[in-house]
Amino acid sequence: MSNTPQNKPRCGSDVSLTELFNQAKLPRYGSDVYLADLFGVSRATVWRWAAAGILPQPVKLSPGCTRWRLDQIKQLGEAV
């Protein structure tokens, strides 16, 4: 599968979490929207998982900008 925009893998495709993280243009931080799409859940579920300790705590980068470190999400995916 090429990495052209029309062939970019999306959540729900047959691409594994590890393959997704190995893509060259992976951002360092992911938003609640990004993680919700990645895991196929709602934004509210992402926040509930963080509050319950299922996901690592997010990092507040600036006012109104809270993100999760994707290296921590990758480690979580590898542990499962």
pLDDT digits (tens, 9 = 90+) for 8-26: 545 455 667 777 666 655 5
Evaluate the CA torsion angle 24, 27, 30, 36 in order and state its sign: negative
Provide DSSP, the chain.
Answer: ---SGGG---TTSS--HHHHHTSTT--SEE-HHHHHHHHTS-HHHHHHHHHHTSSPPPEEEETTEEEEEHHHHHHHHHH-
**What pLDDT, on a 0 to 100 scale, did the predictor assign at position 24?**
53
Entry pTM: 0.63
For 30-78, the pLDDT digits (tens) are 999 999 999 999 999 999 999 999 999 999 999 999 999 998 998 887 7
**What pLDDT, on a 0 to 100 scale, did the predictor assign at position 74?**
87
**What pLDDT, on a 0 to 100 scale, did the predictor assign at position 9?**
47
Q: Are 68 and 55 in contact (CB under 8 A)?
A: yes
